[in-house]
Amino acid sequence: WDEPLLFELSQPGQRGILPPALEPGLAADAADELPAALRRERPAALPELAQNAVLRHYLRLSQENLGADLNIDIGQGTCTMKYSPKVNDRLVAGHKLAALHPRQDDETAQGVLEILWRLERMLAEISGMDRVSLQPGAGSAAIWTNVAMIRAYHESRGEGHRDQVITTIFSHPSNAACAKTAGYEVITLYPDADGYPDLDALKAAVSDRTAALLITNPEDTGIFNPRIAEFVEAVHAVGGLACYDQANANGVLGITRARDAGFDLCHFNLHKTFSTPHACGGPAAGACGVSAELVPFLPRPTVEFDGERYFLDDDRPESVGKVRPFTGVAPNLVRAYSWIASLGAEGLREVAEIAVLNNNYLMTQMLKIRGISAPYAKGRRRIEQVRYSWEELAEETGVHSEDLGHRAADYGVHYWTSHHPYVVPEPATLEPTESYSKRDLDEYVAIMNAVAEEAYADPETVRTAPHRSSVHLNKEETLDDAGAWAVTWRAYRRKNAER
Amino acid sequence: WDEPLLFELSQPGQRGILPPALEPGLAADAADELPAALRRERPAALPELAQNAVLRHYLRLSQENLGADLNIDIGQGTCTMKYSPKVNDRLVAGHKLAALHPRQDDETAQGVLEILWRLERMLAEISGMDRVSLQPGAGSAAIWTNVAMIRAYHESRGEGHRDQVITTIFSHPSNAACAKTAGYEVITLYPDADGYPDLDALKAAVSDRTAALLITNPEDTGIFNPRIAEFVEAVHAVGGLACYDQANANGVLGITRARDAGFDLCHFNLHKTFSTPHACGGPAAGACGVSAELVPFLPRPTVEFDGERYFLDDDRPESVGKVRPFTGVAPNLVRAYSWIASLGAEGLREVAEIAVLNNNYLMTQMLKIRGISAPYAKGRRRIEQVRYSWEELAEETGVHSEDLGHRAADYGVHYWTSHHPYVVPEPATLEPTESYSKRDLDEYVAIMNAVAEEAYADPETVRTAPHRSSVHLNKEETLDDAGAWAVTWRAYRRKNAER
Amino acid sequence: MEHPYIPNAVPEVKASMLAATGAADIEEFYADIPESLRLRRPLDLPPPLRGEAELVRHVGGLLDRNTSTRDALSFLGGGCYAHHVPAVCDEVNSRSEFLTAYAGEPYEDHGRFQALWEYQSLMGELLEMDVVNVPVYDGFQATATALRMAARITGRGRVALATPIDPDLRSKLDDYLKGAVTLGGPVDGDDLAAVYIGYPTFLGVVDPRIPSHVEAAHAAGGLAVVGCDPIGLGVLAPPSSFGADIVCGDIQSLGMHPQYGGGHAGFIATRDEERFVEEFPSRLFGLVPTTVDGEYGFGDVAYERTSFARREQGKEWVGTAAALWGITAGVYLALMGPTGMRELGEGLMARCRHLKDLLAGIDGIEIPDAGLPHLKEFVVTFTGRTVAEVNAALRERGIFGGHDLSEDFPHLGRSALYCVTELHTKADLDRLAAELKEVLA
Amino acid sequence: MEHPYIPNAVPEVKASMLAATGAADIEEFYADIPESLRLRRPLDLPPPLRGEAELVRHVGGLLDRNTSTRDALSFLGGGCYAHHVPAVCDEVNSRSEFLTAYAGEPYEDHGRFQALWEYQSLMGELLEMDVVNVPVYDGFQATATALRMAARITGRGRVALATPIDPDLRSKLDDYLKGAVTLGGPVDGDDLAAVYIGYPTFLGVVDPRIPSHVEAAHAAGGLAVVGCDPIGLGVLAPPSSFGADIVCGDIQSLGMHPQYGGGHAGFIATRDEERFVEEFPSRLFGLVPTTVDGEYGFGDVAYERTSFARREQGKEWVGTAAALWGITAGVYLALMGPTGMRELGEGLMARCRHLKDLLAGIDGIEIPDAGLPHLKEFVVTFTGRTVAEVNAALRERGIFGGHDLSEDFPHLGRSALYCVTELHTKADLDRLAAELKEVLA
């Protein structure tokens, strides 16, 4: 489709939906109560479209989109693009959850409360932690919540002077950014030659100013840090807390647990490991697990059970308070519960094992492609993902990793390079999860191989890709020019007119 | 997508869904009760696929399909491809209808029975008839039902000797075919010079052998036959019944009614005029309206109301009996009810008027295209559709109507030629309905114009179309060769192996 | 007020379009309709519910008055079944692209053709037959047409009924076959076009005598037409294995919700012989090569059979039927696979066995065919109270008892047809037994 | 048994893949995990419900224990609203392509970029502001960030609160702004970064003094940050019209079901000035030309602001938030159009007016701000019984009474926040009044 913008489709007078009519006895002019300054004068310049025109527009846009359901979606490494079971979507679509108001009396919400209560126990068992908050809206919000709890913990002990947080470069940028936002100085550890965060650097960095270590394991490279317990100990030794970013937990379910390595806090992304759909970038859901010492600081309310009924407990004086409205992204919490319930302990372990098998199989096949490598820990296995490098290919052909990804889009798949900075040069991060079959992985490798070969044979075609997508290469410079960028149609028209 | 066949995607051992486990206490070997001859020996050779693989396959197939929601679907004339409101789909998706069993006690189905009862009254008012059966599964089944009632009516009066049914060539083929299947000799009237069925021919054809006239108006040409009442009278005069095929009722809602022209029976396609989705060719729904004389012969059960409760009445001794299981395609009946309820009398009339406006506007624009014409009734208006002819274009370029339709598919729209025989040479039948905006119609005309111009400029490109579709031109001859046709994968493999 | 479903009702648009046509007003388009036929008053319909919210409240409110089989514990069957519907089935058949497509060509609707051809192929594997049609309306229509096909193929006019059939089906056959095929009589004679066999029968029995009926029909030069619910074919032998010539039935069990009877679609399957294929009235999609080597195309096999091609010269008639349910049944079979179908069949028989055993032990109940195998349905006879009484008492307890057979099968006495599905847990079955015990005490 | 969610669990496949990697078993892949960290027992979780039907029964059964706002007549609001959700909104956001996509490039996910940019643009028209972000988690997060932005833009550290705010929002702000922004104090002073104004306020009032607060903030060299529920902007003036510098809030009203609090997403809007734009932490999609003339592409505006680009050097932080609700709100605004939004606003105020009038006439009830305009919520004070008692009595009658304010706003006495939406019919409002009269009698 070459679908125009909604605004270009507008046809004055058309209606997409009609609000309920005003019945006799209701005052059609009630809005005239408003003071003149607060009364809208001219209608909003929204487009005017019949219902099927709106529908058609968005259906066409949907077809101009990939999605985990449509493609072999293993190219968004660190994102754990696993299958989100359709049955779980349908379970949450009915009015028994969709039309539930968060301020209802607990008596009228016993079903959803029981699910939240059970989900918390499941995640506590999976992480080894004592309690789990389901309130954060996604992974970064969970990191923020953990940082907030860390801050509250230290303050409660009169150690508010601790003003440094340590993280690693292969941990998600939100670890550094949330700590900074909370007022901490951020110390970032870089990998040693083996790709592990540098333990000596950590030991040099810790002090009585250390509030916490925020660390991922396996990191975005897929390499499990075998000395992780030593990292935790080093931080504990100076009175700091250890916080485990378990966004990448898919390879270790039932294999190893955050608490067992001594962590005080951890978080999961329920939209990653626990299968809730990624939704173009949310709504998602995050879960923060904490040890007993941190429990008083959990966001409020918590879900409690008195043996007969479930209820929300808002009376938590040491709590960091609310990190989002109400009790969390309930539909995703129900989905995550359903997913765990459908697999059980044995199933979760199989998820981890097959995710790891898929990843190592994929790595074996990918490394046969000309110009690619998997930096660090040569010859060692990876857990659930691998950060590859096209450095050799780039040097030999001038084609960059990003270009290869664009060209892959022409074949109906894609990949994501990596978070900045590109510590691994010309990166590409693949994470096959447990959801894709051997056949799928082989197809993906074949596409990557074809694209790489093309880079050697006909680099221009790759560099100027995509060619078969809905759209062609952006002229990126506009996006950083305040005089030209256009975040809305009204801004675009204004700037265009000014030209 | 270049999506393989399901069977080619099979990976032994994979499962798409698991049936509920057998609980302890249930006999896992109960099937061993079966006599050996009735016990399946080898499992069915169904493909084996994980759940997301099945989903992905069908999602991709769906994207290789158009649909009224996705394109300007005015090219399937006679089919009334109007917008099927999404809200109606959602109303029937809940368990309060979906999980309703048709053998439930009426007490537990009062809601749906009330809707069926109300819908019958609405359709009776729209047609002017006394009662309406909602049981037929679609339009052709409704035609069959009317023929069956005609047969029962004559037999009940001792006139079983009436063995002829008269229809017209521009009426749907099922009129002729159902009559034939019911044992009638079929007499087909052809159009006169103005495109109307020939009244003189009718007068010559009627006799005491005439059971009924089955006729459409407006016919597939979109031309309203102004002498329709005379047709009805001519049939009545010899003791025959007049039956109105109102599949094409979209242009006359609230304008003229079957009973007012003297018809004894009529039928509507609820998936056409009354907006239920076409569903790749059903499930649909048909409705048969009859005058008081025919009421005893309606299929059973009927829905009745005793002032307090709604109930199914199966005690109808003269009924033709069941034409399908239970009481009809309930979800579509609820959708049709909702659609009428959302429009009311004024809205239905506006539907008709705008459908007719759209059609005449479209005709004005289409006739500006080189090589096209609208045979019959030159200079006169049409009701809701037009059968066009590309005869001139075909003569001048050698490109046939079918080729043009294929080429239009490359532009994301399509059209349907016509039912056989092609009385109008090189036909194309367009019906814009009320659902498409002026902008949509203009876009469609522009595409048709482009394709026609291309036929003159580059006929080969048009003749070998489609070029941008999921698939290319079929080698049709295989489909009529019993040694080669392949209705199933197993037949295909066998015949391929035999070659 | 412009209605969201009628874009061009905007006055300015209307005016500009009218101008383009040269018409003064819309009445002009209706010039051919004589005044005597014109309705010069508004239709007498309820005031419109134009706002979507108002419509939802009205229609949703009416539907909420129903008690569904999810609200109650149901043992109803008899031709419509509340099997589990996988979420992926609903997902696929609610896709706009499938739900709102119709009769496009193989080129713009490649996906629809492929999905329906795959449905045919999956059913072919389940049935072990090479030809399966695009679905007709329902099992009734499929059966009626299968018997007419048998008559056309053999040139004979009588069909014997070897097993008890649904009285509603009988009603449909009486109407549809009138003048073409007579029903009844022995499985013998040179007028025998076919024997019709229910597998299982309407009363749920998997009758061990079925193969002998097939043999008898063949011996008389007739065909064997087997009606079956494909849900059982994971454990039941495919009818082709014991000689069935035509197999027909309803696919509602394969992924369609009951929908108060709205989930039906019919299949007809035969061997791949021209004399069979040429007698199908319905569409048969075929795999076909295209102008691109190795590409799969799809189209209509032997289209000239149909009334679309030849009006009354075609076989019976064909129209819009139930294609979407065919696509859905394909999704269902693809999800279930061979193992799923076997496990499902085993599970049905196990639950059926358990319930038979439980009920047989209750005073006031007899199971007439207890010794015969049943797939998922069986007859329960009450020696004391009427079925209507029992069902009313069960309804009070939130249970929908079995379908009352007392009127249609008077020789069975006060009997009801009980149906289990894989959705019944052991606790559900035990609950029914306990409640029945109380009701009958 | 192979799980449908884990295709490669098939033993043969597993073995062949292991062989390709050269590993003896899967344990080998875990070689880097020290034994001391290994969990050598199965997780202690409930037995799995592998069959989809069993899962549906279990989870569906739990959810059925809830009483929803469709089951009851609800007057709850206070930040989450049960407005009508058009079916097309649900249709679009349940499309697999949108529901399961994530963070693809503009090229393979052109549709997602366009849909979100169009959302930004539609909100821009409603707000009459040129910059709107891709949604953040919720209105709380949007407000917290808007205030931090105000502090960064002005280089000042205090935000005055001009109107009563949700105590839960206050809790979020206390945590999120700690150490960066202090809350409270007068709308004055050279430390004033901004004034925060609720429009309407948490207590439902459209406060006529709002423009004067804006003026006061500007006079002190601070910004005006207005929090608003966009649902009212068909009748309420856009905050930009009276000088708001930053507008923020939640879009849950625009097409999202309440979902027990799962339908939230936050917006932040500003003028198109670099000093504002550069302070957004969230993503801003922009329209951009491509290498093909006239083609619209989309990409990230000023990406270097974000923590994605620069980790702790970026503004605050950004991650997965609530994009799908942004797309949905876009669908909602596209369906409603200018006239729909106006009519909706008028309808809300009309219903609100009617209910205020009705309740004001009941003994035992006072409406403290009866004279001020309310959009859809207002405070009801009970002079006799407690809100808890009233609500319990209403619950018995199938009504969810207003949100209890007694604890959080003690100065209001025994008060509750009542909310109407366009879904309330006049009969619903009359019913509430009648029941309240009985309860309070």
A343 touching B (Cβ < 8 Å): no
Q: Among B279, B358, B382, select the one facing C8 at the smallest CB separation.
A: B358
**Distance of residue D336 Cα from the nearest chain C Cα, in angstroms:** 10
Asked if B9 and B56 touch (Cβ cutoff 8 Å), the reply is: no
Q: Would an 8 Å CB–CB cutoff place C377 in contact with chain B?
A: no
Give the three-class secondary structure for B184. coil
Chain A residues in contact with B14 by the CB 8 A cut-off are: 437
Mean pLDDT estimate for chain B: 96
Give the tokens for residue B19: 């049936």
Tens digit of each residue's pLDDT (9 = 90 or more) over D179-237? 999 999 999 999 999 999 999 999 999 999 999 999 999 999 999 999 999 999 999 99
Query: Can you give the pLDDT at residue B195?
Result: 87
Mind listing the pLDDT tens digit for each residue in D367-395?
999 999 999 999 999 999 999 999 999 99
Q: What is the pLDDT of residues B330-355, one digit of tens each?
A: 999 999 999 999 999 999 999 999 99
Residue A279 is assigned to a structural domain of this protein: yes
- Show the CA angle centred on residue C236, arms to residues C234 and C241, nearest 5°: 110
Closest of A122, A146, A114 to residue A304, by C-alpha? A114
Distance CA A69, CA A77 (A): 16
Could you tell me if the ipTM is greater than 0.85? Answer: yes
CATH architecture of C89-330: 3-Layer(aba) Sandwich (3.40)
Q: Å from A55 to nearest chain C CA? A: 10
**CATH no. of D73-82+339-440:** 3.90.1150.10
Q: Are residues B123 and B227 in the same domain?
A: yes
Decide if D124 contacts A489 (C-beta within 8 A): yes
Q: What is the mean pLDDT of chain C?
A: 97
What is residue A243's predicted lDDT score, i.e. its pLDDT?
A: 98
Domain with CATH 3.40.640.10 in chain D: 89-330
In a domain, A246, yes or no: yes
Closest CA–CA distance from residue A255 to any residue of chain D (Å): 5
Q: Is A94 on the interface with C (CB under 8 A)?
A: no
Residue D1 has pLDDT above 70, yes or no: no
In a domain, B76, yes or no: no
Q: Does A9 touch chain B (CB under 8 A)?
A: yes
Question: Angle C110-127/C323-360 helices, nearest 10 degrees?
Answer: 30
Identify whether residues B213 and B125 lie together within a single domain: yes
Query: What does the alpha-carbon distance between residue C423 and residue C74 come to, in Å, rounded to a whole number?
Result: 10
Interval A397-426 mean pLDDT? 93
Q: Which residues face D223 on adjacent strands?
A: D194
In this prediction, residue A2 carries a pLDDT of 84
Return all residues near D32 (Cβ < 8 A) that are at least 6 apart.
Answer: A223, A224, A225, A226, A380, A381, A383
pLDDT at C104: 87
- Which of D291, D102, D319, B54 is closest to A415 using CA atoms? D102
Query: What's the whole-number mean pLDDT along residues B180-195?
Result: 94
- D70 at interface of B, judged by CB pairs closer than 8 A: no
Domain boundary (B319, B342, B365) is at B342
Regarding whether B247 and B132 lie in a shared domain, the answer is yes
| Residue percentage of chain B with pLDDT more than 90 | 94
Is D408 in the A-facing interface, judged by CB distances under 8 Å?
A: no
Strands A131-133 and A241-245: unpaired
Residue B33 contacts C, CB cutoff 8 Å? yes
- What's the pLDDT tens digit per position in D344-363? 999 999 999 999 999 999 99
Q: How many domains does chain B have?
A: 2
- Cβ contacts (< 8 Å) between C55 and chain A: which residues? none
- Condensed to tens digits (0 to 9), the pLDDT of residues A36-58 reads 999 999 999 999 999 999 999 99
From CA D176, how far away is CA D185, in angstroms rounded?
Answer: 18
Confidence of residue B270 (pLDDT cuts 50, 70, 90): very high
pLDDT at A497 over 90: no
Q: Note the pLDDT of residue A195.
A: 87
Identify whether residues B337 and B386 lie together within a single domain. no
Q: What percent of chain C has pLDDT over 90?
A: 98
pLDDT, average across residues C416-438: 98
Residue D300's pLDDT is what? 96
Query: Which chain B residues are within 8 Å of A342, Cβ to Cβ?
Result: none
* In contact, B123 and B268? CB cutoff 8 Å: yes
pLDDT value, residue C28: 97
- The per-residue pLDDT for C432 is 98
Whether chain B has a CB inside 8 Å of the CB on A5: the answer is no
Q: Which positions 317-376 of D are in contact with A (Cβ < 8 Å)? A: 317-325, 327, 330-331, 333-347, 349-354, 373
Interval A461-476 mean pLDDT: 91
What number is the average pLDDT over the span B11-36?
95
Q: What is the pLDDT of residues A144-153, one digit of tens each?
A: 999 999 999 9
* pLDDT in the model for residue C308: 93
For range D12-36, the mean pLDDT: 97
pLDDT higher than threshold 90 for residue A314: yes
Check whether residue B336 and residue B369 sit in a common domain: no
Average pLDDT score, chain A: 96
Q: Are C133 and C329 in contact (CB under 8 A)?
A: no
Question: What region, left, alpha or beta, does residue D128 occupy, with left being phi > 0 and alpha being psi -120 to 50 degrees?
Answer: left
| Model confidence at C1: pLDDT above 80 | no
One domain for residues B268 and B372: no
Tell me, yes or no, whether B385 lies in a domain.
yes
**Which CATH code fits C73-82+338-440?**
3.90.1150.10
- A423 lies in some domain: no
Q: Is A96 on the interface with B (CB under 8 A)?
A: no
- In three-state secondary structure terms, D260 is helix
User: Where do you find CATH 3.90.1150.10 in chain C?
Assistant: 73-82+338-440
Chain A within 8 Å of D426 (Cβ-Cβ)?
A: yes
Q: Distance from A42 to chain B by nearest Cα, in Å?
A: 26
**Distances from the Cα of A474 to the Cα of C43, C276, D106, D289, angstroms:** 56, 59, 8, 6
Tell me what the mean pLDDT of segment A267-290 comes to: 97
Report pLDDT digits (tens) over A63-100: 999 899 999 999 999 999 999 999 999 999 999 999 99
A200-211 pLDDT per residue, tens: 999 999 999 999
On the question of pLDDT at B1 being above 90, the answer is no
Predicted local distance difference test score (pLDDT) of residue D402: 98
Name D366's bridge partners. Answer: D381
Q: Report pLDDT for C409.
A: 97
Interface test with A, best of B11, B51, B52, B88 (most A CBs within 10 A): B52
pLDDT at A217: 94
Q: Which domain holds residue B413?
A: 351-463
pLDDT at position B435, please?
A: 97
pLDDT confidence of residue A177: 97
Last-in-domain residue among B342, B364, B399 = B342
Q: How far apart are CA A357 and CA A251, in angstroms?
A: 9
With the CA atoms of B268, B274, B276 and B277 taken in that order, what torsion angle do they form, in degrees rounded to the nearest 10?
Answer: 90
Alpha-carbon distance values, A98 to C410, D66, D93, D209, D332 (Å): 49, 11, 14, 37, 17
What single letter denotes the amino acid at residue C19? A
Average pLDDT over residues B403-432: 93
Contact C49 B409 (CB under 8 A): no
Query: Which whole number is the average pLDDT over D401-425?
Result: 97
Answer whether the bond into residue D34 is a cis peptide, omega within 30°: no
Taking only the tens place, the pLDDT of each residue in A210-254 is 999 999 999 989 999 999 999 999 999 999 999 999 998 999 999
Give the number of C-alpha atoms closer than 13 A to the C-alpha of residue D122, restricted to the C-beta side: 34
For the segment C290-297, the average pLDDT, to the nearest whole number, is 93
**CATH code at position B383:** 3.90.1150.10
User: pLDDT band at D2, cuts 50/70/90?
Assistant: confident
Has residue A499 got a pLDDT over 80?
no
Distance (Å, rounded) from C-alpha C157 to C-alpha C183? 9
Q: Is the four-CA dihedral A70, A75, A78, A82 of positive or negative sign?
A: positive
Q: Kindly report the nearest CA distance between residue C221 and chain B, in angstroms.
A: 22
pLDDT of residue D104: 87
* pLDDT bucket at B469, cuts 50 / 70 / 90: confident
Which of these, A135, C139, A56, C256, lies nearest to D335 by C-alpha position? A56
How far apart, in whole angstroms, are the C-alpha atoms of residue B461 and residue D145? Answer: 58
Hey, are the CB atoms on B60 and A70 less than 8 Å from each other? yes
In a domain, B28, yes or no: no
pLDDT > 70? residue A341: yes
Q: Which two tokens stand for residue A353?
A: 């094992």
| B33 found inside a domain | no
Least CB-CB distance to C422: which of D53, D86, D87?
Answer: D53
